[in-house]
């Protein structure tokens, strides 16, 4: 008989219109790293929320060390030594690390805060696990990776034995991910039991001992990670074989659709310009990828290109027209489609229904309005068509409030909207961020389809695999400048990595001046 | 998933009704009203235990005998409520309804006293003038907000004072309008007054009908037009609205102008109302007090959940208990007691949504597991999701 610290037996949790967890069983051994794998909307987060006391399941029971327990709220979970690092951190920005860690369990002496003892414990824990956290820095001053360590310290400080990590690597840089995985291993070696929610197969293979796979709310199986492969895991997760490489034919690019000359965009956070004179061309029927490490001016570049931000100087030409000073609507009418980086902030009105979001770029066109009155029957018709074609899944179809939809389906809605409007250029900014392999494959197929339809595609991405697989041409951006113009067929990932890190630089190839 | 959904629908129709947004805001408003009244009763018990029952009875049913007056007094606060609620839909908090209302009143008076127009066109034009007066007062905070990103709360609250002092100054310096010995404006000619609806013992007039028509037009604008679509989109998420190419600045100014115009109409309706006593009329006293109807409008808008049709009911309700409140003075209660009750109602309505789900939780415990009461759970889930999402938004903004 194995020694299980936590057993979740036959858990069923229903939401309106959907069964999020259907008879799921998960058993966590003491001292293991147990990965929980599944697509977006497979029910991973719901299951963990049940364990953490945020949802109460309709059926099933939870056992700790073989004894049945009831977890009605996060406090109960804490009392059972269950801790969780949420995807979005729960930290007070203007407090110090130490203040955040002791928040809720402040040690006091006659009603006065007694920090010294807490500080000692925090420093000791930090050293023990190599977290390198300074207890006195303010949360707002430290990096995202460091903030995550504060969350980990919070759990350790409360002597939690069962640690839940909800997609912890989504917000980290590759270097930080490596460090985090090492920390997780150390924690497991010290006897902590870890539940690791993720949909990144590489990370599972690297750290996890066992892996439970969920699909559409149902339990698929639990496997020993050593005895399986990435391909097998992804098949379990998606229910079919996944194509890790993108199929695309050779194509000769056509005319220049987008031409940018010496674009300069100011930075919002510091005095220097974030984009320092970028020039590039994108032609019909090619995917040009702007690759780079996050924060090298990509966001500002996209804002300048799409009109969200004014240019300091430079010239943008779209389909032969100067749009350097054009309004966002004008650019859109001229043929620019934009899949934004932050789908919640820019891409969607979360409190609008799906159908209202699907016409966000088109509601003013004669097809959808007469004398400023929106033709809701036409909107519904159009929405149903897109939902059908793009397989956008939601609880209530066109009238679903978008906030309640899963991330993958929200992204599908944006892509459906942007692809179905008249366009010559598609600007896709990190279109697969936070999505699972099934959705990523789908989105990659759509982008290639656009290219094959003779549209120009400008992809801005941080993922090396995506850059290598999709693009016809790679431009590397580093500190607001283009430092490399590479051909994916003759470039290795390592070389691309060096360019992105700024360690290598080459002049941009002579760009064709046809656009001017 | 879809099969599941349709099954549920067939099973219980009540569920789909209770799930409607409108229904839940209606029940939460009722809950707020109930708690507000209960609290008010407690205060009355403390203030004057002997007459508390009698006084409370007046508050509850006193308005029934004076329905004409209820609608008469509801007219201006309905308009200021619409003004606040409309701006609120776009995420703007127009606290300047008082100043816009006062300016509208002045513009209407100016046309009434200084212009000579034939027949009933006179009061119609006076009403339109009131609307323009309010629009001007709304335009200024709007343009500050749109072009200079100055917080509209601050500008509009300061414009309450600017509007009030400016109007008081203009009124006092105009002999045709101002009767210095009585320190109030002169009576407006009967020909310029809005026609009464002919309900005995009350000044209720065509204004309430016009106000309700305006509310319905607003409702249609918000629900059916591209402008309403843009306005609500901006209110929900201004970044997405900008991304979709909506003209945010234009819409901010337009919204504030419309909002101001609505409050201005309220001022015009108030000052141009007919008087039951022949030869008299409503008057304005330039005594440096900010018009209370503007602030009551905030309460009306909140209680009506910023929904134009909801605001019709909340304005009527607040006017109704105000009438009852004045009657409570017959048994020795100060009319201020009713202001406390209204304040409590607003206070509770602010977090009535949360209380709604809290009550649902209690109900769930009482009903127990047997009934598998899904309505209750749905409410809880939705609420929690929203809270989580809000946190996300906050952290994002903080970044």
In this structure, the answer to whether residues A299 and A208 fall within a common structural domain is no
Q: Are residues A209 and A289 in the same domain?
A: no
* A231 plus A275 within the same structural domain: no
Q: Give residue B12's pLDDT band: very low, low, confident or very high (50, 70, 90).
A: very low
State whether A349 and B239 contact (CB < 8 Å).
no
Please tell me whether residues A291 and A426 are part of one structural domain: yes
Residues of A in contact with B385 (CB under 8 A): 403-404
- The neighbouring-strand residues paired with A215 are A218
In total, how many domains does chain A have?
A: 2
Residues of B in contact with A344 (CB under 8 A): 392-393, 396
Better pLDDT: B207 or A89? B207
DSSP string, B91-126: T---TTHHHHHHHHHHHHHHHHHH----TTHHHHHH
Q: Clarify whether residues A96 and A158 are in a common domain.
A: yes
Residue A191 counted as domain residue: yes
- Least confident range from A303-317, B35-49, B119-133, B252-266: namely B35-49
Cα separation, B209 vs B201, in Å, equals 18
How far apart are alpha carbons A337 and A323 in whole angstroms?
14
Q: b/e for B311-323, b at 16 or more Cβ within 10 A?
A: bbbbbbbbbbbbb
The pLDDT value recorded for residue B356 is 62
What's the rounded Cα separation, in Å, for the pair B245 and A270? 27
In this prediction, residue B375 carries a pLDDT of 37
What distance in Å separates residue B129's CA from the closest CA in chain A? Answer: 27
Cβ neighbours around A132 below 10 Å, total: 10
Is residue A392 domain-resident?
yes
Nearest CA in chain A to B233: A349
Q: Are residues A195 and A271 in the same domain?
A: no
Given this model, what pLDDT does residue B390 score?
37
Note whether residue A184 is domain-resident: yes
A494 token code pair: 């390592």
Tokens of B381: 């889930």
Q: Are residues A225 and A273 located together in one domain of the fold?
A: no
A167-206 residues touching B, CB cutoff 8 A = none
Which of B196, B65, B214 is closest to B130 using CA atoms?
A: B214
Question: What CATH number has the domain bearing residue A295?
Answer: 3.40.50.300
Looking at residues B236-255, what average pLDDT do you find?
Answer: 92
The secondary structure element, H or E, covering residue A196 is strand A193-198
Q: Where are the beta strands (DSSP E) in A359-402?
A: 369-370, 373-374
C-alpha A286/C-alpha B6 separation (Å) is 45
Do A273 and A333 reside in the same domain of the chain?
yes
Which of B352, B350, B365, B357 shows the shortest CA–CA distance to B382?
B357
Q: What does pLDDT average to over chain B? A: 82
Measured from the Cβ of residue B26, the count of other Cβ atoms closer than 10 Å reads: 15
> Which residues have C-beta within 8 Å of that of residue B338, sequence separation ≥ 6?
B40, B59, B321, B322, B324, B325, B326, B328
A395: exposed, middle or buried (Cβ count in 10 Å: 0-12, 13-18, 19+): middle
Q: Do B381 and A55 touch (CB under 8 A)?
A: yes
- From A238's Cα to the closest Cα of chain B, the distance in A is 18
Taking alpha carbons only, the member of B138, B103, B106, B108 closest to residue B124 is B108
The Cα B385–Cα A16 span in angstroms is 13
**Whole-number pLDDT of residue B364:** 61
Buried b or exposed e, range B182-220, using 16+ CB within 10 angstroms: eebbeebeeebbbebbebeebbbbbbbebbbebbeebbe
Q: Which of A73-77, A356-360, B243-247, B261-265 has the lowest mean pLDDT?
A: A73-77
Decide if B227 and A16 are in contact by the 8 Å CB cutoff: no
Give, in degrees to the nearest 5, the angle at Cα A214 between A221 and A432: 135
**Structural domain that includes position A190:** 4-238
Its ipTM equals: 0.76
Most confident of A253-257, B28-32, B261-265: B261-265
Res B196: pLDDT = 87
A408 in Cβ contact with A41 (< 8 Å):
yes
pLDDT at A256: 93
- The answer to whether residue A243 is domain-embedded is no
Query: Is A123 within the bounds of a domain?
Result: yes
Q: What is the SS3 assignment for B34?
A: helix
Shared domain for A204 and A261, answered yes or no, is: no
pLDDT reported for residue B363:
66
The shortest C-alpha distance from A270 to chain B (Å) reads: 15
CA–CA gap between residue B183 and residue B172 (Å, rounded): 8
Do A360 and A399 lie in one domain? The reply is: yes
Break chain B into its structural domains and give their ranges.
66-331
Q: Which residues in chain B are contacts of A347 at CB distance < 8 A?
A: 240, 243
Contact A217/B at CB under 8 A:
no
Query: Is the same domain home to A25 and A103?
Result: yes
CB distance B325 to B343 below 8 Å: no
pLDDT tens digits for chain A (516 residues)?
467 899 999 999 887 767 888 899 999 999 999 999 887 667 888 898 899 888 888 889 999 998 899 888 888 898 899 999 887 788 888 899 999 998 888 888 888 888 888 899 899 988 888 888 888 988 888 877 888 889 999 988 988 999 999 888 876 777 788 888 999 999 999 889 999 988 778 888 889 999 999 888 889 999 999 998 888 888 888 777 666 666 777 778 889 999 999 999 998 777 778 899 999 999 999 999 999 877 788 889 999 999 999 999 999 999 999 999 999 999 999 999 999 988 888 999 999 999 999 999 999 999 999 999 999 999 999 999 999 988 898 888 999 999 888 888 899 999 999 999 999 999 999 898 777 777 888 889 999 999 999 999 999 988 777 888 889 999 999 888 999 899 888 888 778 877 877 777 776 554 544 333
Q: How many Cα neighbours within 13 Å face the side chain of B257?
A: 11
Q: Is residue A251 part of a domain?
A: no
Strand duo A287-291 + A481-486: pairing: unpaired
Smallest Cβ distance to B239: which of A18, A346, A404?
A: A346
As a whole number, mean pLDDT of residues B304-322 equals: 91
Instruction: Among A182, A212, A238, identify where a domain stops.
Output: A238
Q: Is residue A250 one of the residues assigned to a domain?
A: no
**The predicted structure's pLDDT at residue B20:** 53
Judgement on whether residues A201 and A328 belong to the same structural domain of the protein: no
Largest CA distance in chain A: 78
Would the CB atoms of A363 and B242 count as touching at under 8 Å? no
């Amino acid at each position: 008989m194995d020694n299980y610290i936590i057993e979740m037996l036959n858990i069923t949790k229903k939401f309106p219109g959907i069964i999020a967890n259907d008879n799921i069983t998960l058993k966590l051994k003491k001292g293991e790293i147990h990965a929980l794998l599944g697509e977006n909307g497979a029910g991973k987060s719901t299951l963990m929320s049940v364990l953490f006391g945020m949802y109460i399941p309709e059926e099933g029971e939870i056992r700790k060390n073989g004894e049945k327990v009831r977890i009605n709220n996060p406090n109960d979970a804490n009392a059972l030594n269950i801790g969780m690092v949420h995807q979005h951190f729960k930290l007070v920005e203007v407090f110090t690390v130490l203040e955040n860690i002791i928040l809720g369990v402040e040690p006091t002496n006659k009603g006065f805060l007694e920090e010294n003892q807490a500080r000692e414990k925090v420093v000791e824990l930090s050293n023990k696990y190599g977290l390198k956290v300074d207890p006195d820095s303010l949360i707002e001053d430290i990096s995202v990776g460091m903030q995550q360590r504060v969350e980990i310290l919070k759990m350790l400080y409360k002597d939690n034995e069962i640690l839940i990590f909800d997609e912890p690597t989504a917000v980290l840089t590759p270097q930080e991910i490596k460090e985090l995985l090492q920390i997780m291993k150390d924690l497991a070696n010290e006897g902590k039991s870890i539940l690791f929610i993720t949909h990144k197969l590489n990370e599972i293979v690297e750290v996890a001992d066992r892996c439970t796979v969920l699909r559409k709310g149902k339990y698929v199986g639990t496997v020993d990670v050593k005895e399986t492969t990435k391909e097998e895991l992804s098949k379990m997760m998606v229910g079919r074989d996944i194509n890790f490489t993108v199929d695309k034919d050779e194509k000769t690019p056509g005319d220049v659709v987008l031409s940018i000359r010496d674009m300069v965009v100011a930075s919002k956070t510091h005095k220097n310009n974030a984009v320092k004179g970028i020039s590039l061309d994108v032609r019909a029927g090619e995917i040009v990828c702007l690759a780079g490490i996050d924060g090298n001016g990509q966001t500002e570049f996209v804002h300048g290109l799409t009109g969200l931000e004014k240019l300091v100087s430079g010239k943008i030409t779209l389909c032969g027209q100067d749009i350097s000073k054009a309004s966002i609507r004008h650019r859109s009418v001229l043929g620019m489609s934009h899949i934004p980086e932050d789908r919640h902030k820019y891409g969607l009105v979360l409190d609008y229904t799906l159908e209202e979001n699907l016409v966000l770029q088109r509601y003013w066109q004669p097809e959808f309005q007469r004398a400023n009155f929106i033709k809701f029957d036409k909107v519904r018709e159009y929405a149903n068509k897109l939902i059908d074609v793009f397989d956008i899944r939601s609880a209530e179809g066109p009238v679903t409030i978008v906030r309640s939809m899963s991330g993958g389906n929200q992204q599908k809605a944006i892509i459906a909207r942007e692809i179905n409007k008249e366009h010559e250029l598609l600007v896709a900014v990190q279109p697969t961020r936070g999505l699972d392999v099934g959705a990523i494959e789908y989105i990659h197929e759509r982008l290639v389809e656009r290219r094959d339809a003779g549209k120009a595609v400008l992809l801005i991405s941080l993922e090396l695999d995506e850059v290598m697989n999709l693009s016809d041409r790679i431009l590397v951006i580093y500190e607001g400048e283009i430092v490399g113009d590479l051909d994916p067929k003759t470039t290795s990932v390592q070389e691309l990595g060096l360019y992105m890190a700024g360690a290598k630089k080459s002049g941009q190839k002579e760009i064709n001046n046809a656009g001017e | 998933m879809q099969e599941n959904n349709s099954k549920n629908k067939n099973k219980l129709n009540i569920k789909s009704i209770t799930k409607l947004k409108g229904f839940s805001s209606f029940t939460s408003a009722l809950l707020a009203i109930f708690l507000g009244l209960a609290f008010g009763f407690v205060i009355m018990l403390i203030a004057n235990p002997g007459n508390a029952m009698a006084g409370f009875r007046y508050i509850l049913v006193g308005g029934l005998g004076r329905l004409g007056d209820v609608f008469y007094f509801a007219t201006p606060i309905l308009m200021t409520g619409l003004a606040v609620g409309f701006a609120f839909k776009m995420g703007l908090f127009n606290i300047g309804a008082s100043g816009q209302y006062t300016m509208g009143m002045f513009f209407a008076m100016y046309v009434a006293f200084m212009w000579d127009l034939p027949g009933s066109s006179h009061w119609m034009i006076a009403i339109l003038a009131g609307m323009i007066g309010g629009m001007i007062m709304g335009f200024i905070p709007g343009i500050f907000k749109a072009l200079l990103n100055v917080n509209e709360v601050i500008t509009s609250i300061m414009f309450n004072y600017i509007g009030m002092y400016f109007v008081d100054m203009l009124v006092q310096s105009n002999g045709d309008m101002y009767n210095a010995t009585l320190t109030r404006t002169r009576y407006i000619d009967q020909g310029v007054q809005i026609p009464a609806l002919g309900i005995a013992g009350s000044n209720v007039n065509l204004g309430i009908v016009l106000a309700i028509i305006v509310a319905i037009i607003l409702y249609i604008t918000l629900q059916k037009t591209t402008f309403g679509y843009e306005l609500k989109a901006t209110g929900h998420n201004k970044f997405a609205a900008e991304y979709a190419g909506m003209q945010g600045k234009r819409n901010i100014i337009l919204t504030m102008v419309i909002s101001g115009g609505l409050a201005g109409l309220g001022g015009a309706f108030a000052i141009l109302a007919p008087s039951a006593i022949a030869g008299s009329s409503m008057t304005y006293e330039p005594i440096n007090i900010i018009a209370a109807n503007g602030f009551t409008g905030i309460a009306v808008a909140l209680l009506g959940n910023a929904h134009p049709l909801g605001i019709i009911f909340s304005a009527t309700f607040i006017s109704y208990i105000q009438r009852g409140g004045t009657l409570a003075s017959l048994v020795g209660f100060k009319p201020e007691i009713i202001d406390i009750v209204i304040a409590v109602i607003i206070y509770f309505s602010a977090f009535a949504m949360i209380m709604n789900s809290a009550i649902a939780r209690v109900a769930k415990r009482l009903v127990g597991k047997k009934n598998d009461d899904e309505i209750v759970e749905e409410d809880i889930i939705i609420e929690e999701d929203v809270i989580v999402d809000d946190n996300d938004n906050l952290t994002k903004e903080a970044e």
